[in-house]
Each structure stands twice: as structure tokens, then as C-alpha cells.
Amino acid sequence: MLHNSLYMRKFLLIDANSLIHRSFHALPPLTTPKGEPINAVYGLSSILLKLIKDHQPDYVAAAFDRPEATFRKVMYQEYKAHRPPTASELVSQLVEAHRTFEKFGIPVIEKAGLEADDIVGTLAEQMKKEPDVKVVIFSGDKDNLQLIDGDRVVVELLKTGVSKTVTYNEPLFLQEYGFSPKQLIDFKALIGDTSDNIPGVTGIGPKGATDLIREYGSIEKIYEEVGLIAKESLRKKLEAGRESALLSKTLATIKRDADLGVSLADFSQHPLDRDGLRKYFEELGFRSLVERMSS
């Protein structure tokens, strides 16, 4: 399958957890004919239909979180500690979502101790080294922007709800953020991340962090030269937050070298089983998706 780009083959990498959570919170309640909650699976199915049609990928994979504690939680007990337990209406749909990917013929990758982001990061790192392959990461999570690599790895990010997206390559990221994608982890090391309970450095906001990164390049370089910073109040904030900043950078860094034991051939995309999908959607009561498949 030839694509109208520099790269002949496209690898579509789906951050499944972020899509399911986004769908669950963005869409109104919906139940199957049996009365089971299904709005997140509906949103996911709708997104997948559009993704396959728009991208026509040669390879595709989906990454999931696992329920076990991750290496970040082991390192820092407060990581994501403030998040409420997953709603019971969503738990059942996370299970069903695995079946959804199976019906689409999309391989699911998950591993105890890792987050979906780490699976995505590892696969992106591995597959971008394959000749003539472009990796497109589809996610609702801005953390994945750190994985952008020129035009070789881009991130299509859900902006609002489950329909509007923006595709970030390196120039667009640089234009919007003022530093390179790989420096996003240094930015988060300074400002923290309330959604993940990453502490950052107290008293440093986005503008101050951006200025520091543009001047010094990285957290490590900032702390090499912290004693030379003229502004006393800034110097004291940084000195007081040194340990927190270094921990925060580690927590914010997506792992790219997990041992997944997979190769490109494991993710070859085959034609959709349209009859099987149609029956699946009928079973769940997704009439509008059945109509979409018939048009």
C-alpha cells in the first residue's frame, strides 16, 4: 500500500486507555440492549472506524494500561494517588474494549508494571527505525508529545471531545511550546502535572519554566549552573526544589526500551471483517455505526 508521503508504510499506534477514558467522559450515558453501560466503547468504535478509513495503515497496534502498580508508583507512592477509583460503569467497558479491538483485528499490547504510554513509547522507538515507516500516535494524552521525532513520529492528539484532532510534528510543537518535544519532560519537571500528581518545583509556572528551558536546555544543565542565576528568588526556588525536579523528570519520562518481544510483522493490518463488525455493533445496539458501515 503506497502512501502519498516520504514514507511508504504507516504504523498507527493507538493509546487505547486515553481514548476510552475520553469517550467515557465526553459522551452521554448509553446502554446495550441488555442494559449494560457502553458509551465509552461506542466512542472508541466510532473513532476506530474513522482512524482506519482516514489513515489506511499498513500496521496498527493498541496499548493498554494494566491494573498492577507501575514502576512510577513503586518509585513515588503519591503518583496519581489523588485520582478516584475507576467508575464501575467504566471498568466493564475496559474489558469490553479488548473485544472491540479484537473485532477490528487490531493487536493489543499491555504489560504489568508499564503504562500504555510506555508501550507506545517503546513501539514508536522500535518502529521508527524500520526503513520507510512513519509512526502516527493517536492519543488524548499530551504526554505523548515528547515522542515526536521530526516527521518520522507524529502525534495526532484529540483536542476536544472525541472528534477534533491536531497532528503535531516537530515544527508545530516548537511553534506552540517554544522548545523541542524531547524537552517536554524538563518542562514538566519544573511545572509538575496535577493530573498525574507530579510535584515539579514550587513557585515555577509555565512561562518561567519555558524561559529556563530555552536558556539552559535541560533540568540537569539548570542545576549545574543554578548558583550563577542572578535572580535570588528564582535561584532559591530552584535550589529548594532540586530533588523534586529530578524526581518529576523521571516520572514524566515515557519509557522507550521496554522488553515487548514483538516485531513489525506482528502488527500487519488486514482488511476489516465488515460482516463480523456489523454483527458486533448490532449486538451492542450501535445502530448509527451499523449505518456508517453500510454507507
Residue 241 pLDDT class (50, 70, 90 cuts): very high
If we measure between CA atoms, which residue out of 271, 221, 280, 270 comes closest to residue 96? 280
Q: What is the pLDDT of residue 6?
A: 62
Q: What is the pLDDT of residue 7?
A: 64
Residue 254 pLDDT class (50, 70, 90 cuts): very high
Judge contact between 179 and 143, C-beta under 8 A: no
Q: What is the mean pLDDT of the chain?
A: 94
* Structure confidence by residue, pLDDT tens digits, 258-268: 999 999 999 99
Domains of the chain: residue spans and CATH: 9-177+263-294 (3.40.50.1010), 181-252 (1.10.150.20)
Q: What is the pLDDT of residue 81?
A: 80
Q: How far apart are CA 203 and CA 208, in angstroms?
A: 9
Q: How far apart are CA 168 and CA 137, in angstroms?
A: 10
Average pLDDT over residues 55-72: 94
**For residue 169, is it left (φ>0), alpha (ψ between -120 and 50) or beta?**
beta
Q: Is the pLDDT of residue 151 over 80?
A: yes
> Which pTM does this prediction carry?
0.94
Q: What is the pLDDT of residue 4?
A: 46
Average pLDDT over residues 196-223: 96
Q: What is the pLDDT of residue 160?
A: 78
